[in-house]
A and B are shown apart, each in its own frame.
Chain A
């Protein structure tokens, strides 16, 4: 029996996002959406997390940090890119310091579009991420 679907812990990181998507992510924790019902906990620590929820288009300074966080997360782990910027760079894609989306740096499992992404989409994305987690676990088991 796998417990990942019952207890997905999230690490939320802002990779030079405008904070719009981040606020929506935090909104998921508020009473209106209350993702803790599903066992989701927003840990701030990569070593405790299963799902890396990243917002923002990545800039040069962020790259090594994102890689480090990802490296420190124990297996199995998934990356959920939240918002247009995380998916492809969004409206900042052509800026000189922007890498253009998380998948330039990390293997992304779930893309959640929107600018800003709505809490419902985010939750949906997390649920899909949990599915991906389960698959990874089955593969490695």
Chain B
């Protein structure tokens, strides 16, 4: 097992290093595809080796000394951030990273940093297995997609200097460090990987090096470094505790008062990485990065690291005030960003808000910590990674074809890009119309809230009900745009042919993944996610594991209905077609309608964004403010230790 894990971490990292030297496009394509295959295979083999049994703990093969290696990496990271900070004249990030480094140096030099207990460097259980598979499979598919996407991206933006060697290298380094993050049990080890992912995110967001994106990249860096500092602070506090740096041990049950403050700081780290309010800002800025970055880092994998940590912490915080506060932070984030999403016109931003919302739900589940809610959280992770990853990739493909992110320009997708539209429909169905993953999760969450005592349950129910309705609204708008059909010119029909093989392949596979996950929901629930939930929170009742066959059937039908209908409709035009009603006026080609006093105008349809009723900016700001207060309380409560 140890060697497999080392391979998972090392191989992508080394591939990344290799890619730095490869300038030839074809060679790069080949290396990426081959390396991707290896990574997928390795992920599957690792998962199979683990075999879904009890949790496994192990060391590096050969037992290398870790402390100094970790410190070396941290120094490198700090140096890099300082250099970059100087270059772009930003102070905040260097200060934070130096603070982090100071803590690490102090601990190492003063000898206060305990070595990991023998055989407990790494931790592998069902959750790890799920994360490994997600990172390996979804991550690889996104890398493959980038091969096609980046070609189109640079073609449409010739003023941006291409640094694709760096881009792809970063993607692979990132995959390596994600693997490292999810298997770590020794907190300082996890922290290093955590920091590397932050750095990768920073570099990838700032890929185009325009002033704007540099600003956003630093936003991401700053906010994530706050979390990183919290992580370091937690390590500092835990260094003095027995078994303090063994994640599995400190989260085995409710946290003791001694450990609480550190756990609170770790929660903060998780919240920043998962872009929860008040830290959501960085994820929105990250939308200016190329779409595969958005898919990989900011929906399928990196932000999952944040909720992954929170899920790990769940047994430690469940039932305590800290846990409840964390849960409310998550749920309120969900509510507020759903409000904002309704007013947003930029499709990628809508997807970003939706991501933050889904992560908020997971955070809510982690904070409350019951077997059902853990089940919900893990299910959301799985389905969200697949469906949202797919959606970002599809939006990227569309963007490259239409040169726009404005949802108003995505209309009649079914007519203009029929096959892409089918894939988009699978993605959206996966997120929402199918009472699928996310909705099944919401349903179970509601059930769990029903079981909670006191006012909390009521408030959470209300938040869930309103938030959920808001998601229907913005997904509905997107769906309408995708499904609209109108006559298309011959030229328009040719646009879809320019979608690259890499994009088709990766997006189709992800769509297939969504379908398979739905089909296998019962198996997934009873064999993998359920046992994980029950080991974390033992419970007598196991009814939530079993998925009612009626439910499963409905979900499958609902999932497949739209894409299948869309596919069929795109091919059959056997009805008596007629114009749409335009107050009796005939509709000329191109949607032009004659006006009453002469002349003609094109019919232009625009979504409602609820102006006048919902103010998006106000919603975002108030959410940030409310959650900031909540966060302060959270830390205070943690520090006080109850």
Stretch from A64-72, A85-93, A124-132 forming part of the interface with B: A64-72
Q: List 5 A-B contacts (CB under 8 A).
A: A46-B581, A47-B578, A64-B585, A71-B578, A72-B581
Chain B, residue nearest A61 (CB):
B596
A65 touches B578 (CB 8 A): no
In the complex, which residues of chain A have a beta carbon less than 8 angstroms from the beta carbon of B578?
47, 71-72
Contacting residue for B581 out of A13, A47, A64, A67, CB 8 A: A47
A68 to B578, CA, bound (A): 10
What is the count of residue pairs linking A and B with beta-carbon distances less than 8 angstroms? 23
A72 touches B585 (CB 8 A): no
Chain B, residue nearest A66 (CB):
B584
Contact with B along A29-68 (1 / 0, CB 8 A): 0000000000000000111000000000000000011011
A67 to B594, CA, bound (A): 14
CB distance from A16 to the nearest CB of B (A): 13
Q: Is B21 in contact with chain A by the CB < 8 A criterion?
A: no
Among B578, B581, B584, residue most surrounded by chain A Cβ atoms (within 10 Å): B584
Please provide the 8 A-B residue pairs with the shortest distance between their CB atoms, ordered closest to farther.
Answer: A68-B586, A65-B584, A69-B584, A64-B586, A72-B578, A68-B584, A65-B585, A45-B581
Chain B, residue nearest A64 (CB):
B586
Chain B, residue nearest A62 (CB):
B584
CB distance from B578 to the nearest CB of A (A): 6
In the complex, which residues of chain B have a beta carbon less than 8 angstroms from the beta carbon of A64?
585-586, 594
Q: Is B490 in contact with chain A by the CB < 8 A criterion?
A: no
Contact with A along B484-520 (1 / 0, CB 8 A): 0000000000000000000000000000000000000
Taking CB atoms and an 8 Å cut-off, the chain A residues in 66-83 that contact chain B are: 67-69, 71-72
A-side residues, CB < 8 A to B, are: 13, 45-47, 64-65, 67-69, 71-72
CB distance from A35 to the nearest CB of B (A): 23
Q: Is B211 in contact with chain A by the CB < 8 A criterion?
A: no
Q: Is B579 in contact with chain A by the CB < 8 A criterion?
A: yes
Chain A, residue nearest B579 (CB):
A72
In the complex, which residues of chain A have a beta carbon less than 8 angstroms from the beta carbon of B585?
64-65, 68
CB distance from B582 to the nearest CB of A (A): 9
A48 to B578, CA, bound (A): 13
The range of chain B's interface size is: under 10
A113 to B578, CA, bound (A): 33
B-side residues, CB < 8 A to A, are: 578-579, 581, 584-586, 594
CB distance from B541 to the nearest CB of A (A): 53
In the complex, which residues of chain A have a beta carbon less than 8 angstroms from the beta carbon of B579?
68, 71-72
Chain A, residue nearest B576 (CB):
A74
CB distance from A1 to the nearest CB of B (A): 24
In the complex, which residues of chain B have a beta carbon less than 8 angstroms from the beta carbon of A71?
578-579
Chain A, residue nearest B594 (CB):
A64
Prevailing SS type, chain A contact patch: helix
Taking A13-B584, A46-B581, A72-B578 as given, write out 20 further A-B residue pairs in contact, using a Cβ cutoff of 8 Å, ordered by the A residue number: A45-B581, A46-B584, A47-B578, A47-B581, A64-B585, A64-B586, A64-B594, A65-B584, A65-B585, A65-B586, A67-B586, A68-B579, A68-B584, A68-B585, A68-B586, A69-B584, A71-B578, A71-B579, A72-B579, A72-B581
A46 to B579, CA, bound (A): 11
Chain A, residue nearest B586 (CB):
A68
In the complex, which residues of chain B have a beta carbon less than 8 angstroms from the beta carbon of A65?
584-586
In the complex, which residues of chain A have a beta carbon less than 8 angstroms from the beta carbon of B594?
64
CB distance from A139 to the nearest CB of B (A): 18
A53 to B424, CA, bound (A): 45
CB distance from A7 to the nearest CB of B (A): 21
A69 to B587, CA, bound (A): 11
A69 to B584, CA, bound (A): 6
In the complex, which residues of chain B have a beta carbon less than 8 angstroms from the beta carbon of A45?
581
A47 to B581, CA, bound (A): 8
CB distance from A58 to the nearest CB of B (A): 13
CB distance from B576 to the nearest CB of A (A): 8
Chain B, residue nearest A48 (CB):
B581
A88 to B584, CA, bound (A): 23
In the complex, which residues of chain A have a beta carbon less than 8 angstroms from the beta carbon of B584?
13, 46, 65, 68-69
Chain A, residue nearest B596 (CB):
A61
In the complex, which residues of chain B have a beta carbon less than 8 angstroms from the beta carbon of A46?
581, 584
A71 to B579, CA, bound (A): 9
CB distance from B591 to the nearest CB of A (A): 15
CB distance from B283 to the nearest CB of A (A): 45
A45 to B578, CA, bound (A): 14
CB distance from A50 to the nearest CB of B (A): 16
Among B579, B581, B585, B594, residue most surrounded by chain A Cβ atoms (within 10 Å): B581
A69 to B578, CA, bound (A): 11
In the complex, which residues of chain B have a beta carbon less than 8 angstroms from the beta carbon of A67?
586
A65 to B585, CA, bound (A): 5
In the complex, which residues of chain B have a beta carbon less than 8 angstroms from the beta carbon of A69?
584
A85 to B121, CA, bound (A): 94
A72 to B586, CA, bound (A): 10
CB distance from A107 to the nearest CB of B (A): 18
CB distance from A120 to the nearest CB of B (A): 29
A73 to B635, CA, bound (A): 67
Chain B, residue nearest A67 (CB):
B586
Chain A, residue nearest B584 (CB):
A65
A64 to B21, CA, bound (A): 68
A35 to B581, CA, bound (A): 26
Chain B, residue nearest A46 (CB):
B581
A85 to B566, CA, bound (A): 48
In the complex, which residues of chain A have a beta carbon less than 8 angstroms from the beta carbon of B581?
45-47, 72
CB distance from A53 to the nearest CB of B (A): 14
A31 to B586, CA, bound (A): 36
A13 to B584, CA, bound (A): 10
A127 to B461, CA, bound (A): 57
A46 to B585, CA, bound (A): 12
A68 to B581, CA, bound (A): 9
A47 to B578, CA, bound (A): 10
A64 to B585, CA, bound (A): 7
In the complex, which residues of chain A have a beta carbon less than 8 angstroms from the beta carbon of B586?
64-65, 67-68
CB distance from B74 to the nearest CB of A (A): 69
Chain A, residue nearest B583 (CB):
A65
CB distance from B204 to the nearest CB of A (A): 51
Chain B, residue nearest A72 (CB):
B578
A68 to B585, CA, bound (A): 7
A67 to B586, CA, bound (A): 9
CB distance from B300 to the nearest CB of A (A): 45
Among A64, A68, A69, residue most surrounded by chain B Cβ atoms (within 10 Å): A68
A66 to B584, CA, bound (A): 8
CB distance from B361 to the nearest CB of A (A): 42
A69 to B586, CA, bound (A): 8
CB distance from A65 to the nearest CB of B (A): 5
A99 to B73, CA, bound (A): 88
Chain B, residue nearest A11 (CB):
B584
A67 to B587, CA, bound (A): 12
CB distance from A45 to the nearest CB of B (A): 6
A64 to B584, CA, bound (A): 9
CB distance from B631 to the nearest CB of A (A): 55
Chain B, residue nearest A65 (CB):
B584
CB distance from A10 to the nearest CB of B (A): 15
CB distance from A122 to the nearest CB of B (A): 21
